[in-house]
Amino acid sequence: MRGRFRFEVASLSMIERGVASVLFGTPPTATYQEALEDLLKAEEMDSGAIDNMLYLGKTYKALGNDKEARRWLSKTSKSEGIDFVDNEQIQEARKLLAEMAGGEEEDELQESDCDTAEEI
């Protein structure tokens, strides 16, 4: 739970942080690295929890580690949900994977364009 909280706090925009400062005085602070540490600890205690695996994937993505992000999002997408919330999280993981796959194709196209230009 704390890992998810830290992820959400780390994801706040500057505007959201400003509003939080007005409302709370000093807004909470957190980093994606702190979120990752908490989420990994949670995974050790309750391996395979759909919500935790989803947030591991999202956190790795935010940290720029696409390989680990894909691994955790793939694990999430292959899970079987037992309720509406699980199924929503599985769908979110599938959507994120599809978006990441789309980005790969664009990167590959750009790399192949460069290879072609070098050959000329």
Residue 4 clears pLDDT 50, i.e. is over it: yes
All domains in the chain, ordered by first residue: 2-119 (1.25.40.10)
* pLDDT of res. 96: 97
Give pLDDT tens digits for 29-70.
899 999 999 999 999 999 999 999 999 999 999 999 999 999
**Model pTM greater than 0.85?**
no
- What is the DSSP secondary-structure string of the chain? -HHHHHHHHHT--HHHHHHHHHHHSS-----HHHHHHHHHHHHHHSTT-HHHHHHHHHHHHHTT-HHHHHHHHHHHHTS--SSHHHHHHHHHHHHHHHHHHHHHHHHHHHHHHHHHHHH-
Task: Check residue 81 and give its pLDDT.
Answer: 94
